[in-house]
Amino acid sequence: MSFKKEPCRNFQRGHCRFGEACRYLHVTQQQPKSNVFGFGTQTGLSQQKKSNPLGFGTQTGSHQQQKSNPFGFGVQSSSHPKAGTDFVSKQNQSKLFQNTWTRSTSTPTGVAPQKSDNETQAANHKCTDPEACRRQIVEDFESERPLWKLTCYGHSKNAPCDIVGDISYEELRAAAYDDAKHGLNFQSIVERERNLLSSKLVEFDNLLRKPYAVPPGRSSSQTPFSGARPNSFPLTAQNSAPPLVSSFNQLGASQNLGLGISQSSNTFGTNNMPHRSEGTIIEGFLLCTLVGAFALLLMISYGRCI
Amino acid sequence: MPAPFTVSQLISGSNFEAKFPLSLSLSHGFGVSGGLSLSLSLSLSNLLVVVVSEVPMSAFGTPTAPNPNPNKSFEVAQPPSDSVSSLSFSPKANYLVATSWDNQVRCWEIMHSGAVVGSTPKASISHDQPVLCSTWKDDGTTVFSGGCDKQAKMWPLSGGQPMTVAMHDAPIKEIAWIPEMNLLVTGSWDKTLKYWDTRQSNPVHTQQLPDRCYALTVRHPLMVVGTADRNLIVFNLQNPQTEFKRITSPLKYQTRCVTAFPDQQGFLVGSIEGRVGVHHLDDSQQSKNFTFKCHRDGNEIYSVNSLNFHPVHHTFATAGSDGAFNFWDKDSKQRLKAMARCSQPIPCSTFNNDGSLFAYSSCYDWSKGAENHNPATAKSHIFLHLPQESEVKSKPRNTTGRK
């Protein structure tokens, strides 16, 4: 009987009610634990990675490869006192015998992870019900508004952000210290921070008003507007120029702001563009009415689809 | 009539708790409306409260000046003159390193015997700009630090000049030493992770991140990086050029800190919304994932700034912007101990190598912006707490266990 060889899932979780009479093997999960490789995977050589059995992050040239080092990484050359080649050969061996840490749909860079996340993660939120999303957003904003406002936000856990453009405490502080060093007085620093804050608050307000105008857009064919739904990952990855943290304006107008929103609002125009120029509320309002028209269209066609 | 900004400076000069009425208005709009005039009138009305509360014995019955050290922790001698950005104990001995916004990296020797704790300042080095992160080499001989000067320095404590060993295009937010690879890894706001062999000037490998690095944790071979916009990237350090997994944070707001489980089965993630997520990496254990709320005070939601596992008991501590630190057990899903709130936020904390000391700093973390920072009166403290067994040892739940 094949299943006798299989470990019992419940036992490993600590609560199998069959006990000895169980059809599956009651082994404690020591093996995977002590051997981190056993980590949720397979066995053997089912390597979906695009690399060779030597595994070790290798070549194919296109990787950021500074040195022509066949092992690709960290294990330089004889100059390395300890661990050098021993480490590598050990790794190679383990790659051959155990499929360490491969996932079934692993691709190294960002595009696919969303799909694999769909499979691997428990809570998959597909935003099929805009009303529920809206309620979630309203509830979040009423009861769970953190004190720090310069943040990204996602209404569903494990789903990409609805509002992008994170600024952390240290970034703000570093920018303030930098400004102070360059002679800016305290008042203007405070003013700049306030402007950042107000544009961020407007973004949150807009989300509240038009919550389902920004579906995170995971799986295909949820709505007819599937064209406007690239993942947020490649978008942010395209943002290759690292934003300098030396001045506030760059922080506030970081490309993340524009890009992140445009992921889903291609059909709606870029809601938040005006806020780059420390936006006035009025401009935002005008755009909102425009957006409202589009939203109406969306709702109608959405209704038709259902 | 003092000029507006000096008034607000005076206000912000008062301690954390007394700013409460003012901060309420600030948190509502952070000065968005009308700006100065509103805050000015509020400031004036608060001036009275502030002045009164500065005096310990108050006739008004307003709360006396909040205690900066309500937990009666030992205070480290000669703390930094500006906020502390990171704390790090040596893996081999009781040496504590603190990096600060005053550009210095300081080292103290901590003497600990029984219930008696003492500290002696030992040495310090400086950077050109605020220092954000620090870590020790596994043999306890060298300290690495990095910060806004976009460089990381290697400081051999036994003497010898600090040397620059890493460079980025933007400030270095996180740094870690990986003994199994003999490499230093640095995470920066330039959206890259770089691995360094300290003897070479070029990084051994540069890893692109989807966004700026905000948090990093390493427990070989598990490494988790938290970036802006709620990305969490897991790496298998045996194959560091490939992202093992990229997930979106289970929390809804900005990621603040991550730490890996001691058994590398998963990690904890803390955010600015007073919540911590417990995440397991293995698919079959996804049902054990959960999040819990912490560091909240009524409607005020503070951020979780630091997560640290106890090296022996594998329970963990959280420290937040509300000035409190708590001890938790993720397996029994309980809070083991809630400590009293300090008057200032706690931006960073750490256990020592055997868990007998818990160091935390009490200083302004910028959680309320520049306007609440008064360099003239701001005080930074570093405290040492002796964790009791009852605080850090796991307790079984009273409800029926499984087996």
For the segment B272-282, the average pLDDT, to the nearest whole number, is: 95
Looking at the partner chain, which of B169, B202, B204 has a beta carbon nearest the beta carbon of A74? B204
Quick check: A101 contacting B, CB < 8 Å?
yes
Contact A146 B204 (CB under 8 A): no
User: Quick one: pLDDT band at residue B323, thresholds 50, 70, 90?
Assistant: very high
Checking DSSP bridges between strand B255-260 and strand B266-271, what pairing results, if any?
Answer: antiparallel
Q: Residue A292 is encoded by which pair of tokens?
A: 């409202």
Q: What's the pTM value of the predicted model, to 2 decimals?
A: 0.64
In degrees and rounded to multiples of 5, residue B119 shows phi and psi of -135, 140
Q: Report, in this order, helix, strand and coil percent for chain A, each rounded to 5.
A: 50, 0, 50
- Minimal Cα distance from B374: which residue of A? A186
Q: Which residues of A touch B367 (CB under 8 A)?
A: 147-148, 169
- Minimal Cα distance from B26: which residue of A? A147
- Inform me whether the pLDDT recorded for B169 exceeds 80: yes
Q: Are A261 and A274 in contact (CB under 8 A)?
A: no
Quick check: A112 contacting B, CB < 8 Å?
no
A304 to chain B, closest Cα gap in Å: 32
Write down the mean pLDDT value for chain A. Answer: 59
Which of B102, B185, B272, B374 to mutate to test binding with chain A, by most A CBs within 10 Å of its CB?
B272
Residues 6+ apart with CB under 8 A from A132: none
Dist. CA B85–CA B364, nearest whole Å: 10
Q: Which residues of A touch B273 (CB under 8 A)?
A: 144, 146
Looking at the partner chain, which of A147, A187, A189 has a beta carbon nearest the beta carbon of B27? A147
B99 to chain A, closest Cα gap in Å: 13
- Inform me whether the pLDDT recorded for A113 exceeds 60: no
pLDDT the model gives residue B400: 55
Dist. CA B225–CA B186, nearest whole Å: 11
For the segment A190-206, the average pLDDT, to the nearest whole number, is: 92
- Minimal Cα distance from A164: which residue of B? B229
Q: Residue B113 is encoded by which pair of tokens?
A: 């015997």
- Minimal Cα distance from A88: which residue of B? B238
pLDDT, tens digit, for every residue of B25-58?
444 444 444 444 444 444 444 444 444 444 444 4
Q: Residue A234 is encoded by which pair of tokens?
A: 């490649």
For B332, what's the count of Cα atoms within 13 Å in the CB-facing half-sphere?
A: 20
Contact B148 A178 (CB under 8 A): yes
